Amino acid sequence: MALLDVQDLSIDIAGIKPLDAIGFTVDKGETLGIVGESGSGKSLTALSIMGLLPLIGGRVERGTIAFDGMELTRLPEPDYRRLRGRRIAFITQNPMTSLDPVIRVGEQIDQVARLHLGLSGSAARRHSIEIMERLRIPEAATTWHNYPHQLSGGMKQRIVIAMALAANPDLIIADEPTTALDVTIQAQIVQILGELVREKGVALILITHDMGVVAQACDRVVVLYAGRVAESNTVSAIFASPRHPYTQALIGCIPRNAMERGSLVGIPGLVPSVARYPAGCRFHPRCTRSESLCEREVPVLERLASGAEIACHVADKREASHA
């Protein structure tokens, strides 16, 4: 049984429905990438699993989120709270704004161990410094005393990761952990996350819009478009043979070596806003291969024999004969 099993998840925020029947699973020691443009519902998926939708006035409307055998959508808040930070940890998008600016970064890490592991003041501090050292934060004992504004973006993101690790979680959800960072720091952070998965066997959900990060760090990937799953598959299969026109377009957006000048293309148009989702396949206005069927009917998510899933009227769904 998978550690996290999300099925048919739909949410409601003040009458709008930004997620429509999302589903995926994550196993221990596995990294699942959730990919999509801004507005595709990636961050809301994370908030749903964390049980933090009420903070933004939302709720789970339909579907199930099973974590280690527990049904999270029906979990009472006090139990949910004991799960958050303890077994499911969250790494936010922007390290610049994710730390409390008036509290020492070390104390912010201590907080987690004190809350969830019941460590006392000095034990919690030793615990925090140990994690900081493991994340290769230089002079961890000194950095413990720093305030967030005294650290660089990459350092702050490491502090956020240290907070996520402080209680030895089983699942880490990282929402665009590298977007706000320099390219060189991005690679380091992705590498650190990868090591955690390999060494500690945690499950990682890596939310990103960067197919390069997916290729570097993920085992499987779910492609979201406008609140629905477009395609999901293993990373190697999706890069080798993307089926959904949207996935193909996303992969087409990655710059490669030996590309001719001017040959890098984007996807024309924007993700439609939640209030104005088109009928039928939500991608059809931007799709180069859309047919009249795509404008009328919502494509169902089909599961292929290999485990790949795809929701498209026009895509080639034949499996390679040797698969």
Partner 1 sequence: MLFYTVRRLLLLIPVFLVVSIVIFLIIHLVPGDPIDNLVRVGSTPEQKAEITARYGLDRPLVEQYLIWLSQLAQGDLGTAIVMRRPVADLIAQNLPYSLTLGGLALLFSTVLGIAAGVIAAMNKEGRIDRTVMTGVLFGSTMPSFWLGLILILVFAVQLRWFPVSGARSWESLVLPVLTIGLGGMALVARVTRIAMLETAGKDFVLLLHAKGLPARRIQLRHVLRHALLPVVTILGLRIGWVLGGAVTVEYVFARPGLGMLLIKALSQHDYPVVQACLLMLAMAVMLGTLLGDLIQAAMDPRVRSALT
Q: Which residues bind partner 1 (CB under 8 A)?
A: 50, 52, 55, 81-86, 89-90, 92-94, 97-103, 111-112, 115-116, 147, 149-150, 160, 163
Residue number with CB closer to partner 1 (52 or 298): 52
- Smallest gap from Cβ 180 to partner 1, in A, equals 11
Smaller CB distance to partner 1: residue 159 or 312? 159
Which one, 196 or 281, has the nearer CB to partner 1?
196
Please tell me the distance from the alpha carbon of residue 57 to that of residue 265, in angstroms, as a whole number.
38
**Please, which residue, 168 or 234, has the CB nearer to partner 1?**
168
Q: How far is the CB of 112 from partner 1 (least distance, A)?
A: 5
Least distance to partner 1 from the beta carbon of 184, Å?
24
Nearer to partner 1, 91 or 287 (CB): 91
Complex with partner 1: residue 149 or 198, whichever CB lies closer: 149
CB of 230 to partner 1, least distance (A): 27
Closer to partner 1 at the Cβ: 164 or 311? 164
> Rounded to the nearest whole angstrom, what is the least distance from the CB of residue 151 to partner 1 in the complex?
12
We find the least distance from the C-beta atom of residue 296 to partner 1, in angstroms, to be: 39
CB of 232 to partner 1, least distance (A): 25
Q: Of 108 and 248, which CB lies nearer to partner 1 in the complex structure?
A: 108
Single-letter amino acid code for the residue at 40: S
Shortest distance in whole angstroms from residue 92 CB to partner 1: 5
Q: Which residue do the tokens 């979680």 mark?
A: 169
Interatomic CA distance for residues 136 and 157, integer angstroms: 12
Q: Quick one: three-class SS letters along the chain? A: CCCEEEEEEEEEECCEEEEEEEEEEECCCCEEEEECCCCCCHHHHHHHHHCCHHHHCEEEEEEEEEECCEEHHHCCHHHHHHHECCCEEEECCCHHHHCCCCCCHHHHHHHHHHHHCCCCHHHHHHHHHHHHHHCCCCCHHHHCCCCHHHCCHHHHHHHHHHHHHCCCCCEEEEECCCCCCCHHHHHHHHHHHHHHHHHHCCEEEEEECCHHHHHHHCCEEEEEECCEEEEEEEHHHHHHCCCCHHHHHHHHCCCCCCCCCCCCCCCCCCCCCHHHCCCCCCCHHHCCCCCHHHHHCCCCCEECCCCCEECCCCCCCCCCCCC
- Rounded alpha-carbon distances, angstroms, from residue 253 to 64, 190, 210, 241, 264: 34, 20, 10, 15, 7
